[in-house]
Structure 1
Amino acid sequence: MRDIALSMLILGLLPLIIVQPYIGVLAWSWLGYMNPHRLTYGFAYSLPWVQIVALLTLAGMFYAREKWAPPSSAITWLIAAFLFWTAVTTLFAFSGDAAWPSFEKFVKIQAMILATLVLVRGQTKIHWLVVVIAFSIGFYGIKGGIFTILTGGGNRVLGPAGSFITDNNALALALCIVLPLFRYLHLQATHRWSRMGFMLCMVLITLAVLATYSRGGMLGLAAVGMFLLLKSRKRAGFLIVALLAVPLLLSVMPDKWASRMNTITDYQTEGSAVSRIETWRFAVNLGLDRPARGGGFGASTNSTIFWRYAPPNASKPRAVHSIFFQVLAEHGFVGLGLFLALLIAGWRSCNAIRRQTFEDPEKKWAYDLASMLQVSLVAYAVAGAFLPLPYFDLIYQLLAIIALVRVQFVAEPVAAKSRRAARPNVEALS
């Protein structure tokens, strides 16, 4: 029954995507992040729904009557530059058989990021894209939070099978990233019950992050909490809720959760942490040997390459659990520089949006969204420093949203105002 219902829903969306490709961006985000087909048990489980929607969206974008160009911003150019450099490193990869499929997957992701940059125009479309992203991933946080309450936190919360967020660590990272988006929705809500609902979602998602038993997720959650207080409007009410909710949420978790979190400070004696540091040293050694080209996609998980560059006391091959060290190993210092520049450009663009919209009541939504997207970037940088998700489509789509908000609601209006100011006053001259 689930297979039939989901298939009918998606098939009903396909004609709309051809006519209105923006709907395809929403559908791709929903299917790509939530993976609802992975919640079925029959024929719909393995059908390539995401690819079908992506192809129709791209076709609709190219044949649409109204043509838009991607916003000219540092973020746009850096995404293109990073994609180009991954192509270069793929050409010189240690193992082309492993690198090319990963590169092709990354190209497909960036094609839909291009569609986001081209098709999402105006406040309403940006807002609804944020809503879809937040609830597509937040669904597993809300469900996981309820599950944790019912089971006493004894079982780990996991993501949907066959997705970027299947692993408990990856799910924790994704939930930390979308948690600020719920705060944005909370700030924009005009009805009391809506605000209470969004706050409840945040509490349940926080509990779900704890229940993933991810130490990187725990660090990311702590950073999110701190920056939410620094970046939010109406901090007093949020602080009161946090002070009341955090002790209650921690009391739900069992002793084995506390024992695992305690290893964060005692990492020298914890095997997982020690082997993680070994992989970071491996990444540095590989980067120093091939500073420009790196090892290509897949080099960070290749056991043969690992033993070539591993430190002398390494215990066993393991994936590089860090977005930064993984990019270094696979794309060299050039790739790492572009990746860091992209994240910095996102942060600086949010600062520019905040400065230009702070005193404008009509653009308060843009101020709130930029503030919360900065918190999402912090979550990605902190939790991602211990997790292998440098190619996660979510972060690139959020960066695209930042570029869209800055160009459409800050750069273009300011440029138009400057042109009007520079235009000579004909009546005065006469």
Structure 2
Amino acid sequence: MRGPVLERIFANKHQTTVAFIYCILTALPALLLPHPIALIPLAAIPLGLIFILRKPFVVVLIFIMFSFFRLHEVFPQLDPIKIPMLTALGSYFVLGWHIVLTRKVKMYWRHEHTAFARFFGWVILGIAFSSHPPSAFGSFTSVYVKIGIMVLAISWLMTEHWHFKLAHFLIICSGLAVGYVTLYNNANGIGMVEETRVTIPGTSLGDPNDLSLVLSFPMSYAIAFAVTRGTGRIRTLLGLVGFVIFVSAIIATQSRGGLLATVAVMGIFGLRIIKSKLLLISIGSFGLMILVAAAGINDRKSGGAAEEGVDASAMGRIHAWEAAFFMGLRNPMTGVGLSLFLDNYWDYATHSRAEGQAHVTHSTWFQVLAEAGFFGLGLFLFLIFSIFMSIRSSLKRLDRNRGSPEYDPHLTAITVGTYAGLVGFCVSGSFLSQGFLWPIYIITSISIAIAHYMDTYYPEKAEEEKEAIVKKSRKSNPLSNNGKDKPNDQQPEKLAEVR
């Protein structure tokens, strides 16, 4: 009996090899980490693997939170765990697993993807013609290639209703964590720049302008919760609390770009509530004056009232913009290359070293111009325009269903929040170098996911047919509640056919 049994066991050489490899991998942790306590976390690995395969979007969402809000830097205790790296690897793994093997992830391609791919491809092409290709390629492999992959991963994996609700909630919570640390630092005098401007030292948010930009995005989502009816009392309360914390934190940074972004974000919501544009402009102007006074901009050492004429902060920006313009002018097609603005600064600056020091561009638009050329800037602006029109179209289609059973307040909230966040980025990004970092690309991927969800569950043709049915029914029966009946109450059978 022994002979046949052994033959059956070793009949499949591939199975034997795989089993042997698994045994070796199982024994390695015990050899490398002989202490029994160190082996306890390894027991969670199989459960974690099952979880990320069943809930792949959650892994991507955690990556968004840590990449955008730099939570592992804000809370240094999390840094040894290497959450961004692990979630990035997990995202790549589950994306490949569900695309190639299970085919649960349905890949799709929209015109917004094309707009992004054109700019992304142009940046890659510019590496070969940059002033120092090895440095440009290093910047590409360290950050920008991850951006390219994650734009596809987020847009392809964010497909279900609960995905949008969870993303909206966790983005606000992550922003609240950063806002809390900002206000704590401000109250205790930690990480102060120029004695009055708060930062989070030792992180990527060590610049108050960058900090204000990161806070402005969850602020738009918090306002969306606060003003959108039907999301629930808890979410409304979370939105109100978040709005107060985010505005207070942005005021503490004393960032002029952050204050302008705050007014721009509130202006988007004001357009949906206040019909009179003149009244809205008046309220916005008055609100900006209040924010400037509350922030104490005049007390700033740079850009405050104590400096006469053009302040040092503004002059530094002007010098950087001049250098960026000449970089683009002399390299109109591909610019000087990814992340090479500072390396080329003094070759294109119009002022001497005695008149000032080298500055980053302090403008997303001038940064893209300098590092990708005029052609690259055109592709980037077209990407912004495509996302703007896409999210605006999604919002209009959602508003069209308001009052009907198909109306979804949660989807409306994240859509208008993303729309306001895009506007806030365009305003604050005019004073920050964020052309090749995460904010705009996360907004892009969420916008694409919303547009795809709308096309899947709210197709435009069906909406047009539904509107035609409703109008026809109102004309044929003008006395029924003065035409105020809900569409589905009047024509249930026809609307069922449309849906």
TM-score where L is the length of structure 2: 0.72
CA distance in 1, matches of 2:153, 2:273: 30
CA distance in 2, matches of 1:139, 1:45: 16
Give the match for residue 454 of structure 2. Answer: 409
Give the match for residue 57 of structure 1. Answer: 91
Matched letter for residue 141 of structure 1: G
Give the match for residue 393 of structure 1. Answer: 438
Q: How many residues align?
A: 409
Give the match for residue 424 of structure 1. Answer: none
Point out where structure 2 has 5 or more consecutive residues left out of the alignment: 1-37, 467-499
Q: Tell me if the contact between 2:320 and 2:359 (Cα under 8 Å) persists in the aligned partners.
A: yes
Q: How far off is 1:329 after superposition?
A: 0.4
CA distance in 2, matches of 1:248, 1:419: 45
CA distance in 1, matches of 2:291, 2:61: 33
Q: How far off is 1:40 after superposition?
A: 5.2
TM-score where L is the length of structure 1: 0.82
Is the alpha carbon distance of 1:321 and 1:253 closer, same or farther for their aligned partners in structure 2, counting shifts above 3 Å? Answer: closer
Matched letter for residue 310 of structure 1: A
1:258-273 equivalences under 5 Å are: 262=304, 268-273=309-314
Matched letter for residue 79 of structure 1: F
1:53-132 equivalences under 5 Å are: 53-64=87-98, 65-104=102-141, 105-132=143-170
1:212-361 equivalences under 5 Å are: 212-231=253-272, 253=295, 257=299, 262=304, 268-302=309-343, 305-312=344-351, 315-361=356-402
Give the match for residue 158 of structure 1. Answer: 199
Is the alpha carbon distance of 1:97 and 1:116 closer, same or farther for their aligned partners in structure 2, counting shifts above 3 Å? Answer: same
Is the alpha carbon distance of 1:338 and 1:25 closer, same or farther for their aligned partners in structure 2, counting shifts above 3 Å? Answer: same
Give the match for residue 179 of structure 1. Answer: 219
Is the alpha carbon distance of 1:401 and 1:142 closer, same or farther for their aligned partners in structure 2, counting shifts above 3 Å? Answer: same
Matched letter for residue 63 of structure 2: W
Q: Tell me if the contact between 2:185 and 2:200 (Cα under 8 Å) persists in the aligned partners.
A: no
Q: How far off is 1:257 after superposition?
A: 4.1
CA distance in 2, matches of 1:112, 1:134: 20
Computed over aligned residues only, the root mean square deviation of the Cα atoms, in angstroms, reads: 3.8
Is the alpha carbon distance of 1:89 and 1:376 closer, same or farther for their aligned partners in structure 2, counting shifts above 3 Å? Answer: same
Pick from 216, 222, 246 the counterpart of residue 205 of structure 1.
246
Q: Tell me if the contact between 1:267 and 1:273 (Cα under 8 Å) persists in the aligned partners.
A: no
CA distance in 1, matches of 2:163, 2:233: 24
Give the match for residue 56 of structure 2. Answer: 21
CA distance in 2, matches of 1:180, 1:144: 18
Matched letter for residue 176 of structure 2: G
Is the alpha carbon distance of 1:151 and 1:202 closer, same or farther for their aligned partners in structure 2, counting shifts above 3 Å? Answer: farther
Q: Tell me if the contact between 1:90 and 1:296 (Cα under 8 Å) persists in the aligned partners.
A: yes
CA distance in 2, matches of 1:420, 1:226: 33
Matched letter for residue 33 of structure 1: F
Deviates more, 1:124-133 or 1:377-386: 124-133
Identity %, equivalent residues: 23
* SS across alignment from 1:269: coil
* SS across alignment from 2:431: coil
Is the alpha carbon distance of 1:383 and 1:245 closer, same or farther for their aligned partners in structure 2, counting shifts above 3 Å? Answer: closer
Matched letter for residue 136 of structure 1: S
Q: How far off is 1:355 after superposition?
A: 2.2
Larger of the two Rg values belongs to structure: 2
Q: Tell me if the contact between 1:71 and 1:117 (Cα under 8 Å) persists in the aligned partners.
A: no
Q: Tell me if the contact between 1:30 and 1:133 (Cα under 8 Å) persists in the aligned partners.
A: yes
Deviates more, 1:290-299 or 1:123-132: 123-132
Q: How far off is 1:82 after superposition?
A: 1.3
Give the match for residue 429 of structure 2. Answer: 384
Q: Tell me if the contact between 1:176 and 1:221 (Cα under 8 Å) persists in the aligned partners.
A: yes
Q: How far off is 1:295 after superposition?
A: 0.6
Matched letter for residue 408 of structure 2: K
Q: How far off is 1:261 after superposition?
A: 6.0
Q: Tell me if the contact between 2:395 and 2:412 (Cα under 8 Å) persists in the aligned partners.
A: yes
Q: Tell me if the contact between 1:287 and 1:294 (Cα under 8 Å) persists in the aligned partners.
A: yes
Is the alpha carbon distance of 1:39 and 1:170 closer, same or farther for their aligned partners in structure 2, counting shifts above 3 Å? Answer: closer
Deviates more, 1:142-151 or 1:67-76: 142-151
Is the alpha carbon distance of 1:409 and 1:221 closer, same or farther for their aligned partners in structure 2, counting shifts above 3 Å? Answer: same
Is the alpha carbon distance of 1:318 and 1:137 closer, same or farther for their aligned partners in structure 2, counting shifts above 3 Å? Answer: same
Deviates more, 1:119-128 or 1:353-362: 353-362
Q: Tell me if the contact between 1:301 and 1:319 (Cα under 8 Å) persists in the aligned partners.
A: yes
- CA deviation profile, 1:115-139 (whole Å, cap 9, x unmatched): 1011111221122122222322332
